[in-house]
Chain A
Amino acid sequence: MAAWHSPLGPSPHAACSSKSNILPISAVMDLLIRKRAAGYVCRSCTRQVQREIRLRRSYSSSARPDIYDVVCVGGGPAGLSLLTALRANPVTSHLRIALVEAQDLSKIKSWKLPPDRFSNRCSSLTPASVRYLDQIGAWHHLDQTRVQDYHEMQVWDGVTDARIEFDTLSSSPTSGPDTTIAYMTENLNLTSGLLKRLEELGGVSTYDNAKVEQITLGAEHPESNLDLREWPVIHLSGGKQLHARLLVGADGANSPVRSFAGIQARGWDYNRHGVVATLALEEQDFPTHQSFSPSGKIAYQRFLPTGPVALLPLPGNFATLVWSTTPENAALLKSLPPKEFIAMVNAAFRLSPVDLSYLHSPASSGTPKEEEYSWRMEHTHINPLSVPQTIIGVQENSIASFPLKFRHADTYIAERVALVGDAAHTIHPLAGQGLNQGQGDIQSLARTISYAVEHGMDIGTTMALESYLSERYAANHVVMGVCDKLHKLYSFESGPLVGLRSLGLRAVNGWEGVKSFLMRQASGGGSML
């Protein structure tokens, strides 16, 4: 079976699809988690049950409860990083920790792909995230041959062609000798590396392949003079019950932990889908004009009226696609044969929005896309240095799509509950900030827990968790607001906003202060963002 569809040559290797990945873009967790969520009891129902329990005043008759200091639901990048951080820190390493995950973690830990095959769920890790992963001893457990750094970003407006060129040398005077904007890698490389580090550290009771059937509150245990009526109890398939001093919801955008805590997540849907794919690029036969980019790798993002399309570099001549577009376009793209899909992606970085919307319209369905593309390219003038290399192949089974959402939880903490990552916030994947925001969350939460332990606080109380909320809420809100506004600004094809935004991008290009702010956002250099 062919792994690569390429109009130009034979497919290099055998297939191996990876469907169970966690997408780099937070919204995707929805799809994965929705299934799991069915079994949960929401907080208000729990309260109801609780009230009945109180009325009956039934005391627990079961044996001594199984009590943990931290129970983390969700073994994605955020949950695993948090537990690694807690285990790696001598102050918190004595805590009793449990991890609950629906997937088979041993499969993820031993995850492996041949060098020319890539999972389509990739993330752009900022230097700040990488520094922290290194500090907790996880970074070197990632397969470094599957990590690609890049030092330059080309961002332009599809309608006006106005450009922002991001490079760390010219825009960030404080960045020092390291000019890396970000590190691209597959999410599975990250989770697999974290799992290896956790195994090395030991001491986490892992319940994988485990379904959370419901979350309730504990009971009174008069025989041991214990009152656990305010403690969350996580009921696993198979009957196991875990009591949690602190229940961490790292369980994605549809977070069952969040519903248990009765925390609302508000926001809106963009009526956009993100299309991802792993692509092969033409070998570069000309040197990049950017001498400051040691890897020669560039990330490209073009704002189209339907949404941004981005091509992010992977090792070798591979790249990952993240294309936000209308649900109709997304459906069309997924239905195309590989050759036509490739033509559409090449077109997305080159043709005018008018040509593109024709290609996406039903009117064009008579002619194959690659013919339309070549014909239109003859009439389009492109500077090859300003667009990515030509895409020549798409990895089999790597095209997928998911709806984009903006969601922000009303709070990240409740008594004995903390939310991190997508459970707390889901954003438009414009700046690739989703996973990095989650990393920012867990750094803050791990620091908060460590401080609480050192000062004898009960780490589950809102009193102890307050500083996590205050550190992260505003920071996330700023990032989310910026991404959301960028999306809206670039969603118009004509009218006053178009003129404004070409001015905007040109102004940004010349305005070092704003540009370096945007750069800091992208590279996570801004302290807590």
Chain B
Amino acid sequence: MRSSLQRRAPTLLRTISRRSQYEAAIISNAPRPAAAATRPAAVAPQKRWHSSVNADEISHFNALASTWWDPHGSSRALHLMNPLRHDFINTCRSTSLSSSTTVTPEPNSQPTAGQQQQHQAPKLRYLDVGCGGGIFAESAARLPSTHSVTAIDAAPVIIQVARQHASKDPLLAEPTKLRYINTTIENLASTLQSSPEGSKFDVVTLFEVIEHVDQPANFLSHLSNHVKPGGWLVLSTIARTWTSWFTTNFMAEDVLGIVPKGTHDWNKYINDDELRGYFSKFADEQGWDLSSLMVQGVVYVPGLGWKEVQGSEKVGNYFLGVQKKA
């Protein structure tokens, strides 16, 4: 229903006219009128109006679960992008490490810079929100520099797939390394209350999720409770532009077929300046260090995969990282 060009064009036009209203919605924590209005209320969960969870989205992702780990299946684009997420997180963390601590190299050994950090820095606790089948969560759990990964998703079938897949790797079988929880961001705090891991994390990640949630501002403020002082929130999403509509909805879903049809609702895309706006508005209340905020655009090149491209955050997929004040 959201797949054909003919059906899409009117929506697009409608959305343009609604844009200012939509921007206001993001900043003001109010429910999103545009997204809610264009969706059928088919599988309405209870208390939908209080929750960031969009039932449509969840059933869409549940349906993709079985092919999540097929390297040529529905999530190939995410698999290909995954290494860049680690590169971006490293970039974010290395800027804050170099400014706050001076690393003195040991005289006799000459390990690489990454190795030195791994040896000296305490191991990291990750929270991966909207983890899907666990592409990022698994990879983070495998890193020698990781203490543990907590990964949550609102789709129950997907969490099942994620758990099942993790059991194929003995490295992830250690119960403390990687755990999956089927919960919403709203309920996470109470779920983690008695957890020995605590409910605050060094790195909170949100990859290709925010464009799928209702009330993104609400969602982000819940998230911010789980970022440690000095910790990072790192997310990736797609800018809402003509180009991104063309590349993700038309090219990626319809022409290239690298993303399953119906995955994207262009109405819900968020531009980097809208997110910047959010973080500056709540900088004091939530403790964000605005000087740390970083944005990196990435472009999918058929045949080559994802490439970092300066300035492309304005037209398509991008990463954003922001640190909490220590």
Instruction: Report which B residues bind A (CB closer than 8 A).
Output: 71, 79, 82-83, 86-87, 111-112, 114-115, 138-144, 164, 167-170, 173
| CA gap between A90 and B116 in the complex, in Å | 11
17 further interface pairs, Cβ-Cβ under 8 Å (given A94-B144, A226-B167, A457-B139)? A65-B170, A67-B170, A90-B111, A90-B112, A91-B114, A224-B173, A226-B170, A245-B169, A455-B86, A456-B141, A457-B83, A458-B138, A458-B169, A461-B71, A463-B71, A463-B79, A466-B71
Q: Would A456 and B139 be within 8 Å (CB), given that A91-B112, A225-B173 are in contact? A: yes
- Docked-complex contact B169 and A462, CB < 8 angstroms: no
Name the residue on B nearest A220 (C-beta): B167
A91 partner residues in chain B, CB cutoff 8 A: 112, 114-115
| CA gap between A231 and B170 in the complex, in Å | 11
Closest 4 CB pairs of A and B: A456-B139, A455-B83, A456-B142, A463-B71
Q: Would A226 and B173 be within 8 Å (CB), given that A451-B83, A455-B83, A456-B86 are in contact? A: yes
- Docked-complex contact A90 and B115, CB < 8 angstroms: yes
- Docked-complex contact B170 and A230, CB < 8 angstroms: no
Name the residue on B nearest A225 (C-beta): B167
A226 partner residues in chain B, CB cutoff 8 A: 167-168, 170, 173
| CA gap between A454 and B84 in the complex, in Å | 11
Instruction: Report which A residues bind B (CB closer than 8 A).
Output: 65, 67, 90-91, 94, 224-228, 230-231, 245, 451, 454-458, 461-463, 466
- Docked-complex contact B71 and A458, CB < 8 angstroms: no
- Docked-complex contact B82 and A455, CB < 8 angstroms: yes
- Docked-complex contact A227 and B144, CB < 8 angstroms: no
- A sample of 28 inter-chain contacts (CB < 8 A) reads A65-B170, A67-B170, A91-B112, A91-B114, A225-B167, A225-B173, A226-B167, A226-B170, A226-B173, A227-B167, A228-B168, A228-B170, A230-B168, A231-B168, A245-B169, A455-B86, A455-B87, A455-B139, A456-B139, A456-B143, A457-B82, A457-B83, A457-B142, A458-B138, A458-B169, A461-B71, A463-B71, A463-B79
B169 partner residues in chain A, CB cutoff 8 A: 245, 458
| CA gap between A90 and B168 in the complex, in Å | 26
A466 partner residues in chain B, CB cutoff 8 A: 71
B111 partner residues in chain A, CB cutoff 8 A: 90
| CA gap between A65 and B112 in the complex, in Å | 33
| CA gap between A456 and B138 in the complex, in Å | 7
- Docked-complex contact A454 and B71, CB < 8 angstroms: no
Q: Taking the nearest CB of chain B, how far is it from the CB of A415, in angstroms?
A: 9
Name the residue on A nearest B140 (C-beta): A456
Per DSSP, are chain A's interface residues mostly helix, strand or loop, or mixed?
loop
A227 partner residues in chain B, CB cutoff 8 A: 164, 167-168
Q: Taking the nearest CB of chain A, how far is it from the CB of B271, in angstroms?
A: 28
Q: Would A454 and B170 be within 8 Å (CB), given that A94-B144, A463-B71 are in contact? A: no
B87 partner residues in chain A, CB cutoff 8 A: 455
Name the residue on B nearest A458 (C-beta): B169
A457 partner residues in chain B, CB cutoff 8 A: 82-83, 139, 142
| CA gap between A94 and B115 in the complex, in Å | 12
Name the residue on A nearest B111 (C-beta): A90
Q: Taking the nearest CB of chain A, how far is it from the CB of B115, in angstroms?
A: 5
Name the residue on A nearest B115 (C-beta): A90
Q: Taking the nearest CB of chain A, how far is it from the CB of B44, in angstroms?
A: 36
A228 partner residues in chain B, CB cutoff 8 A: 168, 170
- Docked-complex contact B173 and A454, CB < 8 angstroms: no
Q: Taking the nearest CB of chain A, how far is it from the CB of B167, in angstroms?
A: 5
| CA gap between A462 and B139 in the complex, in Å | 15
Q: Taking the nearest CB of chain A, how far is it from the CB of B163, in angstroms?
A: 9
Residue of B79, B111, B115, B167 with highest tally of chain A CB at under 10 A: B167
B114 partner residues in chain A, CB cutoff 8 A: 91, 454
| CA gap between A454 and B139 in the complex, in Å | 9
Q: Taking the nearest CB of chain A, how far is it from the CB of B265, in angstroms?
A: 27
Q: Taking the nearest CB of chain B, how far is it from the CB of A231, in angstroms?
A: 8
| CA gap between A457 and B164 in the complex, in Å | 17
Residue of A245, A456, A462 with highest tally of chain B CB at under 10 A: A456
Partner of A462, one of B71, B142, B170, B173: B71
A67 partner residues in chain B, CB cutoff 8 A: 170
| CA gap between A447 and B141 in the complex, in Å | 21
- Docked-complex contact A458 and B142, CB < 8 angstroms: yes
| CA gap between A94 and B170 in the complex, in Å | 15
Name the residue on A nearest B79 (C-beta): A463
Q: Taking the nearest CB of chain A, how far is it from the CB of B149, in angstroms?
A: 10
A230 partner residues in chain B, CB cutoff 8 A: 168
Q: Would A454 and B86 be within 8 Å (CB), given that A91-B112, A224-B173 are in contact? A: yes
B71 partner residues in chain A, CB cutoff 8 A: 461-463, 466
B143 partner residues in chain A, CB cutoff 8 A: 456
| CA gap between A231 and B87 in the complex, in Å | 29
Q: Taking the nearest CB of chain A, how far is it from the CB of B164, in angstroms?
A: 8
A454 partner residues in chain B, CB cutoff 8 A: 86, 114
A90 partner residues in chain B, CB cutoff 8 A: 111-112, 115
| CA gap between A90 and B114 in the complex, in Å | 10
Q: Taking the nearest CB of chain A, how far is it from the CB of B124, in angstroms?
A: 12
B142 partner residues in chain A, CB cutoff 8 A: 456-458
